[in-house]
Structure 1
Amino acid sequence: MRTSFRRPLAATVALLCCLSMMTPVVATPGGVGPASGANVSAQDGAPNPCAGTVTQPANGTTVISVQGFKFGDGGGKRPAKLVGVGPTGEIRWVHQSAEKYGVVWGYDVDPMDNGNIFVTATLKNHRTLVYEFNPETQERVWSKTFELGDTHDADLINNGTEILVANMRNYNATADRNDDRIFVYNRTTEEIEWEWRFDDHYNPENLEENYTDDWTHVNDVDKIGEGLYLASPRNFDQAIVVNRSTNEIVMKLGEDGDKSILAEQHNPDYLESDNGTPTLIVGDSENNRIVEYANPDGDLTDGDGWQRTWTLRGDLNWPRDADRLPGGNTLVTDSANHRVAEVTPEGEVVWEFYAPWLVYDAARIPAGEHGGPTMTDLNATGTYRIQGGAGLHENQTRLSACHDVLENVTGLADGSSATDDEATTTEGAIADETTETGAESTDETGDPADSTGVPGFGPVAAFTALALGLGIGIARRR
């Protein structure tokens, strides 16, 4: 799809030309971006306000999931989107998922072996949309909609024949039962073939969380071995591994209420050292740090067996993802700072890109999301502070300019795959004007029109808006 600008950017460009840290622009093949160190945007002649520190080119394209929410004065909902960023910070493409598919909240993105992206997002009316997205064509290959509200993660497993889903916010008022769970959906039979309910394994009387509300907030689930699923019940301050065959918890890091280990974490990843030591790297969100824990004694469900081997802290604000890259660096999603940064084991930022507002997840392709060496194997254990970033999250003018640029690109930044001459992106994509009844019951192939609309946000968002107006802060939904 071609690049589409919905309104002139002359004022923005004029402002950016006066900002510091800007350099001349050039166009490069495969997208508009830097050459010889220049930072540019998708519009010829305009500097790229989204590029931060880049001292080492990234190994591939970085895909960033932008949730679309701005905290503070003038905050509120913005359209969700995916952004594809080249090795030196150039904008390669922007997938305007709010405009195209009615996505409300953008969540997990997983690289696929064929070069495509598996996307998890939510629609209005408590529905979850998952789809395979082709970055080259800027179209989805197939999609599936579940009647589930606010799902943060779903993964394709077993050669794409099944979908592993983290199902939260699932209290059944009629039965007075909380059905928060992880489950496996078979794409061939179109049936749920296995599920694991938290209520069968946790006593709500022993937990601090409200059983009748967002009890677990299970925000992530990954297959880490045959029949082994790593899940993140955020509100329990735990990362657990469930055995599909026995239904037992065979690994657990963290304790409910013990914020010194994990505090409302996101997106844990499983690593294994050269000697086989189980290791978890986690976005320890409420502690504003990235942590890595190893368990050399083999007692994986005993908290005393886990040892924190690496900590990244400092100028981080609600980090919600950390992926270990094959070379040993870590790709950090620094959510409330609206940036994604690649850092060395010692915490030095070598690559950085800003994507307002509120990034949720990031993945490097073709390197993949999971894997890479542990800090123990790298002889880099210890506590480090993140350093060397451009600090653009402290510059609201720069962030707003970056937001404007990203809002005004639809599809490939160089326009080489134009398929819709009328495609535009507007802030009106967040208006609640249409409602779709029913939902897909089977996989869709191709790229049909999807009139899902974009939602209102219910009581939580109403409270958020009130809190913003009164200056009393907000309760984070994610």
Structure 2
Amino acid sequence: MLPADYSRATVARLLAALLVVSLIAPIAVSAVTADDREATTLQRGTVTSPANGTTVVSTQGYTFQGNTNPKKPARLVAVDERARLQWTYTSRQGTDAWFFDVDPLPNGNLLVVSPREGKTLVYELDPETREREWERLLPYEDTHDIDMLNDTALAVSHMRAWNESEGVSNDELLVYNLTTDTVTWRWRYRDHYPASTDGGQDDDWTHSNDIDPVGDDKFLASPRNFDQVILVNRTTGEIELQLGEDGNHDILNEQHNPDFLRGADGTPTILVADSHNDRVVEYAYTNGNWTRTWEVGSGQLNWPRDADRLPNGNTLITDTLNHRVIEVTPTGEVVWEYYATWGPYDSERVAHGDGSTGPTIREQNATGSYTLSGSANLTAGGSEPTPVGTTIEATFAGTPLDDTGATVGALWGHYTPWLRPVWMSGWDLFYGLVAGVVLLGWAVAEGIRVGRTRLAGR
């Protein structure tokens, strides 16, 4: 005699199979219809105002355990004033190669920062010949930013400096002498922050991703995991200015590449890519307090990691997970746009040198919050007009799971683009994971059913 629940079990199996097939079908369609050419195409977007000469972009790319994904290449890209490709440059040595900071030098060459195999290669690249004038392999893991101080010295933001034997972080800012290959100045975060900051010291405590000289005696630094931008006095070692505070994401949320500006009246001003808040912001320091004077692209940008103020008053933004670089006016209009797949990190308008050289927002009488307009809204590199993470956050907003939804949504938006194939959308990955959960539940249910049947037979 058949078990009494045989028909119900059969129906449940059929429903589960139908659900799995319906979830996997969109993934199969994406895989079959994927065009490899679209995965790595460098594309021109909106150009209503030609740029002043060449724009150079470092694209981080993606590698894992020595294997480089050919559809997510790490490379430098140079484009002309109308966003037409001039040249590309890829790494020719080492595995696990990434590209992060790229700085135009006064002699017309580029300073390139490229971590690989637990160390960081820094070199001066001639953009005409694409040959290296000099290079150094520094014993620092995953360095994001190095600046030339002069012909013989580098400023280095050294993160992931974990001392395993002592169980402490040695994350630091330092000056490295190229002539003697020695460190001539260093400033360690643990000497100025409580060990409990960001939940306690670990192997990526600060994620200090930027260092910029300000005048002759100060460094602007970005301890990303502390949600702060700081101005350090090289002589006294004191933190002279601090924008943001650990865990206060209303001000900054894991920012990148801040720039220090000084208004016509001397007001200290910081322009920064507020990465996990998906916006670019500017703050002015007046009467002993920071005031946000500008916000652009909130909810439209997708993990921006660089913002430079140009002499014409516009801002050049590296919009990483939309895989593009855009120049926007103070009111948010996109006037120049280039899709530099995959995962751009830094962009520089070469004629203007490194960083921001233009006026503050207050000097332009343009304070306020602005949405972006005028973009071509292309989807190069697998970007998503409506990321799954945003939908997850919206679904749980206003419920007891509000904070959990926001956390899951942010993690999804940050990590899954690096893990999924470029032909697979975020929704495809989501459907695939749901299908996996259904199959796992099905397998567990079948195991329980078989076990009960055997016990009943005994």
Q: TM-score range by the shorter chain?
A: 0.7 to 0.9
Matched, 1:79 2:73: yes
Q: Distance in 1 between matches of 2:318 and 2:93?
A: 25
Matched, 1:63 2:48: no
Q: Number of residues paired by the alignment?
A: 358
Matched, 1:136 2:128: yes
Instruction: Check 1:213–1:87 CA distance in 2 against 1; reply closer, same or farther (3 A cut).
Output: same
Instruction: Check 1:308–1:397 CA distance in 2 against 1; reply closer, same or farther (3 A cut).
Output: closer
Instruction: Check 1:278–1:195 CA distance in 2 against 1; reply closer, same or farther (3 A cut).
Output: same
Q: Distance in 1 between matches of 2:348 and 2:93?
A: 22
| 1:275-314 matched pairs, under 5 angstroms | 275-297=265-287, 299=288, 305-314=289-298
Q: Distance in 2 between matches of 1:65 and 1:192?
A: 27
| 1:176-255 matched pairs, under 5 angstroms | 176-205=167-196, 207-255=197-245
Match of 1:392 among 378, 381, 398: 378
- Secondary structure of the residue aligned to 2:87 is strand
TM-score scaled by structure 2? 0.73
| 1:53-452 matched pairs, under 5 angstroms | 53-69=46-62, 78-97=72-91, 99-100=92-93, 102=95, 104-124=97-117, 126-157=118-149, 159-205=150-196, 207-297=197-287, 299=288, 305-314=289-298, 315-368=300-353, 369-393=355-379, 396=382
Identical-residue share of aligned pairs (%): 48
- Secondary structure of the residue aligned to 1:106 is coil
Q: Which runs of 4+ in 1 moved over 2 A?
A: 11-16, 75-79, 99-103, 393-399, 463-472
The one-letter code sitting in structure 1 at the alignment partner of 2:130 is Q
Deviation at 1:398, TM superposition (A): 12
The one-letter code sitting in structure 2 at the alignment partner of 1:308 is R
Q: Distance in 1 between matches of 2:341 and 2:301?
A: 15
Unaligned runs of 5+ in 1: 1-10, 17-40, 42-47, 300-304, 400-459, 473-478
- Secondary structure of the residue aligned to 1:392 is coil
Q: Distance in 1 between matches of 2:380 and 2:73?
A: 22
- Per-residue deviation, residues 48-97 of structure 1 (Å, max 9, x unmatched): 86000001111010000001139xxxx96733100000000110010112
Q: Distance in 2 between matches of 1:102 and 1:323?
A: 31
Q: Distance in 1 between matches of 2:335 and 2:123?
A: 32
Native 8 Å contact 1:108 1:152 kept in 2: yes
- Secondary structure of the residue aligned to 2:286 is coil
TM-score scaled by structure 1? 0.70
In structure 2, the residue matched to 1:413 is none
The one-letter code sitting in structure 1 at the alignment partner of 2:139 is E
Deviation at 1:103, TM superposition (A): 6.0
Deviation at 1:210, TM superposition (A): 3.9
Q: Distance in 2 between matches of 1:318 and 1:276?
A: 31
Deviation at 1:13, TM superposition (A): 11
Higher deviation after alignment, 186-195 or 338-347: 186-195
- Per-residue deviation, residues 239-266 of structure 1 (Å, max 9, x unmatched): 0011111011011100000000000000
State the structure with more CA Rg.
2
Q: Distance in 2 between matches of 1:397 and 1:65?
A: 18
The one-letter code sitting in structure 2 at the alignment partner of 1:343 is V
Q: Distance in 2 between matches of 1:111 and 1:219?
A: 18
- Secondary structure of the residue aligned to 1:333 is strand
Q: Distance in 2 between matches of 1:169 and 1:263?
A: 19
Q: Distance in 2 between matches of 1:397 and 1:196?
A: 39
Q: Distance in 1 between matches of 2:59 and 2:343?
A: 6
Q: Distance in 2 between matches of 1:308 and 1:397?
A: 29
Instruction: Check 1:377–1:465 CA distance in 2 against 1; reply closer, same or farther (3 A cut).
Output: closer
Unaligned runs of 5+ in 2: 1-32, 386-414, 435-458
The one-letter code sitting in structure 1 at the alignment partner of 2:108 is G
Q: Distance in 1 between matches of 2:254 and 2:124?
A: 29
- Per-residue deviation, residues 179-206 of structure 1 (Å, max 9, x unmatched): 000100111222101100000000122x
The one-letter code sitting in structure 2 at the alignment partner of 1:230 is L
Deviation at 1:161, TM superposition (A): 1.7
Q: Distance in 1 between matches of 2:192 and 2:308?
A: 29
Q: Distance in 2 between matches of 1:58 and 1:110?
A: 18
- Secondary structure of the residue aligned to 2:99 is strand
Q: Distance in 2 between matches of 1:66 and 1:151?
A: 15
In structure 2, the residue matched to 1:45 is none
- Secondary structure of the residue aligned to 1:59 is coil
Q: Distance in 2 between matches of 1:122 and 1:86?
A: 27
Deviation at 1:471, TM superposition (A): 4.0
Structure ranking higher on relative contact order (CA contacts 8 Å, 6+ apart): 1
